[in-house]
């Protein structure tokens, strides 16, 4: 991945990642009691693995705007492509690890990984600020 193609792939993968955890949440929640007409209520009532997968899904959506803004601003401001890709890939890898930690109920490690994942777009934005 390089150039604008790499940036597009980073954004696409980041946008699809929450849905992986949505599928896990729905599958772990079981078919009994599932109401596809009101899936949010169903997921809100889940416990254990299903509830944790739902929380990962929600948190993944919450972190997405910051990531997309940072990546697009880095591209617009012509931040060196290698640095942008490195921060983007690191964000994605850390978000997957974060999700795994959440599913396995490793709360302390999950929090550390969350901070590291959020640092990636923040570093990109700080780099852009320094370029101004």
In the numeric block, which tokens belong to residue 35?
């109401």
- Per-domain residue ranges of the chain: 3-131
* Residue 67: CB atoms within 10 Å: 24
Distance CA 119, CA 91 (A): 8
Rounded to an integer, the average pLDDT of 35-47 is 83
In the three-class reduction of DSSP (H, G, I as helix; E, B as strand; rest coil), residue 34 is classed as: coil
State pTM to two decimals: 0.92
Q: Which CATH architecture fits 3-131?
A: Up-down Bundle (1.20)
* Per-residue pLDDT band at 33 (split at 50, 70, 90): low
């Amino acid at each position: 991945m390089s150039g604008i193609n790499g940036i597009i792939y980073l954004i696409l993968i980041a946008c699809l990642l929450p849905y992986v955890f949505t599928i896990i949440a729905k599958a772990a929640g079981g078919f009994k009691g599932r109401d596809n007409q009101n899936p949010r209520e169903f997921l809100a009532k889940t416990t254990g693995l299903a509830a944790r997968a739902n929380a990962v899904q929600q948190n993944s959506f919450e972190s997405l705007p910051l990531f997309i803004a940072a990546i697009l601003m880095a591209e617009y401001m012509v931040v060196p492509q290698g640095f942008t890709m490195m921060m983007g890939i690191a964000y994605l890898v850390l978000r997957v690890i974060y999700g795994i930690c959440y599913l396995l109920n490793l709360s302390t490690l999950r929090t550390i990984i969350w901070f590291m994942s959020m640092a990636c777009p923040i570093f990109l934005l700080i780099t852009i600020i320094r370029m101004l």
